[in-house]
């Protein structure tokens, strides 16, 4: 037991030190338990086959599917739009939005989605990001308590009950306490926390997709040669192919995109042809997006009897709606001195077409170039359009081309929805239904939903693997043996007996409070999942010593594991907003301590009522 306590103390110390990543610390701890003979090999590796670990990995894929198909970006933007110019309203909406989203999407994914929108909105309405970002982080931590899958500690607590022979929690059962706590958090930040938040002046106005597109429009003068034309009933283009007309050579016009007014997938005519090729057949009422100067456009309108569709003066939305979606994007590429392109003469449109990309515009020394063929110089910039995958792929094939910004990040900020968006949302709802009606175990429900998302292409396999936080998955799997060792050596029983003797003898509520305080102390310095794994067996044993129901104690473990409000290192979300908000360590303590006390009081009042001892 003393050896077990030594390994436990060293593990916690390594977590706090932060020299090694959490997964490495957990692996060191796991291997130590085996080498000291505390655990057998099967016990040491048992975490990697645990349903909790499998379920959490699947949930990362589901969350990635929701993000990749536009739902989180759309929801995040709506939350900010509803706030208008009201600072208190924005504070409540972004905090509520973070809470609601994190009930179904990972806390990290929620903050990653809302952070740039929150920062830009804060600047636009005349307040500072430091007044908004900490509420977003704390709101996401609290919102994870709304559902069983909202945060890993919920799953760990529920599975610990099942493994001890009790019934696990239902999908929305956590919401009975999570919703009141989220409301308390919103009221706290609206009337108290906002005054405690610092006024940190930061110079981190984010470049979001709208401002990026606006900059491109200005720099490349895209709106000067971007038109949408409709094929009228008497047009000679009807039922012909693009190659029949030599648009680029004869008219100096490029067809970028085609929208069918009368799509027929059965006959090979989808609603959109994102990249029309020479064999693409034109039909009556098609709307073609073209690039060319005004004189050239007038010529083809007269020659082919085409109608001009009006464009908005503020063409950012027009450009975004017509040229960007979940599958297709744009990027700016700059030539650096080591590029193989420098000094060579290219027909650039044809060159980039080999990589599946359309050339929309070229700029040199901040001036647009209109020539079809140029000799490339250092610093030349190209505005390209293609699938997000092809844009990412260009960087792999051209090491000395600078891909500006993050195409993958921009893709997640496109809030338009397509059929894959509804498949991803349907998969999430299917998982919830399976869990609510207990059709299959939770881990299988998550795997089925993740499988649907992968098989339907909502998330490519490569991005799915990137979307999984392997650090978290490995850490949880490697920490589960610690829970086994705590029970096997009797260490958990000793800690539980200490809680029972000193607090349980007074009243069960005092014991509940002790579990809360011990858990939240751990959560301030080590990962909440690791905290839940450590505390779950202790809480169950403490409850069993007094013949009490373990349910209220496991609920409190889940709650308190998610209350890392006092330090920036307790959760990834706290760390994410630290630099962006210009926060210091004491800011978290000052703002988080009152909220933590409120959570303790509310939990000790409501938990015994909802889940009696």
User: How many CA atoms, within 13 angstroms, populate the side-chain half-sphere of residue 515?
Assistant: 35
What is the model's pLDDT at position 235?
93
Nearest Cα neighbor of 139 from 87, 103, 85, 113 is 103
C-beta separation of 118 from 136 below 8 A: yes
Tell me the CATH number of domain 327-412, given options 3.30.360.10, 3.40.50.720, 2.115.10.20, 3.30.70.1450.
Answer: 3.30.70.1450
C-alpha span between 450 and 482 (Å, rounded): 29
Take residue 549 and report the two structure tokens written for it. Answer: 């129901």
Residue 344's Cβ-count burial label (10 Å; 0-12, 13-18, 19+) is exposed
What is the model's pLDDT at position 407?
62
C-beta separation of 185 from 142 below 8 A: yes
C-beta separation of 577 from 583 below 8 A: yes
Q: Which CATH class is domain 217-321?
A: alpha beta
What is the model's pLDDT at position 431?
84
Report pLDDT digits (tens) over 153-167: 999 899 999 988 898
Take residue 47 and report the two structure tokens written for it. Answer: 């975490």
Work out the average pLDDT over 412-437.
81
Q: With bands split at pLDDT 50, 70 and 90, how would you rate the model's confidence at 207?
A: very low
What is the model's pLDDT at position 594?
95
C-beta separation of 581 from 200 below 8 A: yes
Whether residue 221 is predicted with pLDDT greater than 80 in this model: the reply is no
Rounded (10°) angle between helices 51-68 and 442-455: 40
The share of the chain scoring above pLDDT 70, in percent, equals 88
Least confident of 68-82, 168-182, 350-364, 557-571: 68-82
Take residue 594 and report the two structure tokens written for it. Answer: 């009152």
Report pLDDT digits (tens) over 34-74: 999 999 999 999 888 888 788 778 877 887 888 778 776 77
Find all residues with CB under 8 Å of 329, minimum gap 6, and list them: 385, 386, 387, 388, 391, 407, 410, 411, 414
Take residue 601 and report the two structure tokens written for it. Answer: 């009081």
Nearest Cα neighbor of 284 from 348, 351, 237 is 237
Q: What is the DSSP letter of 468?
A: S
What is the model's pLDDT at position 313?
46
| CATH 3.30.70.1450 domain extents, the chain | 217-321, 327-412
C-beta separation of 300 from 252 below 8 A: no
Higher pLDDT, 67 or 374: 374
The strand pairing partners of 227, in sequence order, are: 290
Work out the average pLDDT over 545-567.
91
Work out the average pLDDT over 487-495.
78
Torsion of CA 344, 347, 348, 350, to 10 degrees: -130
Kindly list the strands in the beta sheet with 401-403, ordered across the sheet, starting from the edge strand earlier in the chain: 367-369, 358-364, 381-387, 328-335, 401-403
């Amino acid at each position: 037991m003393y050896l077990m306590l030594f390994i436990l103390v060293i593990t916690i110390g390594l977590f706090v030190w932060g020299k090694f990543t959490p997964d490495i610390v957990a692996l060191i701890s796991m291997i130590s338990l085996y080498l000291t003979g505390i655990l057998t090999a099967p016990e040491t590796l048992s975490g990697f086959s645990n349903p909790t670990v499998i379920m959490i990995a699947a949930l990362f894929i589901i969350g990635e599917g929701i993000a990749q198909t536009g739902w989180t970006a759309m929801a995040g933007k709506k939350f900010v739009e509803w706030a208008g110019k009201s600072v208190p309203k924005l504070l409540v909406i972004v905090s509520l939005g973070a809470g609601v989203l994190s009930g179904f999407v990972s806390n990290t994914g929620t903050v990653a989605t809302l952070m740039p929108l929150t920062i830009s909105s804060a600047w636009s309405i005349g307040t500072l990001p430091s007044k908004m970002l900490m509420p977003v982080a704390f709101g996401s931590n609290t919102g994870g308590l709304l559902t069983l899958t909202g945060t890993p500690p919920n799953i760990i607590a529920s599975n610990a009950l099942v493994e001890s022979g009790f019934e696990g929690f239902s999908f929305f059962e956590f919401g009975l306490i999570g919703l009141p706590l989220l409301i308390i958090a919103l009221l706290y930040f609206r009337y108290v926390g906002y005054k405690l938040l610092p006024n940190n002046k930061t110079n981190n106005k984010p470049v979001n997709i709208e401002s990026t597109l606006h900059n491109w429009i200005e720099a490349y003068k895209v709106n000067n040669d971007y038109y949408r034309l409709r094929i009228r009933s008497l047009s000679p283009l009807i039922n012909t192919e693009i190659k029949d007309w030599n648009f680029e050579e004869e008219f100096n016009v490029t067809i970028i995109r085609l929208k069918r007014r009368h799509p027929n997938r059965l006959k090979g005519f989808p609603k959109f042809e994102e990249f029309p090729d020479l064999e693409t057949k034109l039909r009556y009422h098609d709307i073609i997006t073209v690039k060319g100067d005004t004189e050239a456009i007038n010529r083809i309108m007269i020659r082919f009897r085409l109608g001009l569709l009006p464009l908005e003066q503020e063409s950012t939305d027009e450009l975004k709606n017509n040229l960007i979606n979940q599958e297709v994007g744009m990027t700016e590429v700059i030539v650096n001195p080591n590029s193989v392109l420098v000094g060579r003469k290219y027909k650039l449109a044809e060159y980039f077409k080999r990589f599946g990309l359309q050339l929309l515009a070229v700029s040199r020394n901040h001036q647009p170039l209109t020539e079809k063929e140029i000799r490339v110089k250092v610093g030349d910039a190209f505005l390209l359009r293609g699938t997000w995958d092809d844009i990412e792929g260009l960087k792999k094939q051209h090491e000395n081309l600078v891909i500006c910004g993050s195409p993958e990040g921009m893709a997640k900020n496109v809030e338009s929805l397509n059929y894959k968006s509804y498949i991803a949302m349907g998969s999430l709802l299917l998982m919830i239904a399976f869990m609510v009606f207990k059709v299959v175990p939770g881990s299988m429900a998550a795997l089925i939903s993740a499988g649907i998302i992968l098989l339907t292409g909502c998330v490519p396999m490569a991005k799915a693997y990137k979307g999984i936080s392997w650090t978290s998955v490995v850490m949880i799997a490697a920490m589960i043996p610690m829970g086994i060792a705590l029970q096997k050596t009797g260490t958990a029983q000793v800690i539980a007996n200490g809680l029972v003797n000193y607090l349980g003898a007074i009243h069960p509520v005092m014991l509940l409070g002790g579990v809360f305080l011990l858990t939240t102390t751990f959560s301030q310095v080590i990962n909440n999942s690791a905290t839940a794994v450590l505390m779950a067996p202790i809480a169950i044993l403490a409850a069993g010593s007094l013949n009490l129901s373990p349910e209220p104690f496991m609920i409190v473990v889940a709650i308190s594991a998610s209350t890392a409000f006092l330090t920036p290192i307790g959760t990834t979300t706290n760390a994410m907003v630290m630099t962006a908000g210009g926060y210091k360590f004491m800011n978290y303590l000052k703002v988080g301590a009152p909220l933590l006390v409120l959570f303790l009081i509310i939990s000790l009042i409501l938990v015994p009522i909802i889940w009696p001892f």
